[in-house]
Amino acid sequence: MEVIKKLNEMQTRVSSIKERKETIGFVPTMGALHEGHISLMHNARDENDKLVVSIFVNPAQFDNGDDFKSYPRQLDKDIEIAESMN
């Protein structure tokens, strides 16, 4: 598993996967992964050659700045869950 934090790194990785004619299952999340996410990840992994899970908490999705600040963030646990998909 890789943790990629830069857009250009992700673009390079995706290009490489596409060059090999492999498929990518993408599961976009806001983190705080739970059983619903895990089910989606299992399906995406089973139906594709590669699995990509994004964790991005978008401040534009929150009306109230306090809600954004208090949104649960558990990156270490989320990474652990994502690693279990291998």
- Give Cβ neighbours of residue 67 (< 8 Å, ≥ 6 apart): none
Are 45 and 24 in contact, with CB atoms under 8 Å apart? no
Question: Which helix (H) or strand (E) element contains residue 79?
Answer: helix 75-83
Catalytic residue among 25, 31, 37, 82: 37
Q: What span, in angstroms and rounded, lies between the C-alpha atoms of 58 and 77?
A: 19
Q: Tell me if residue 37 is catalytic.
A: yes
Active site residues: 37
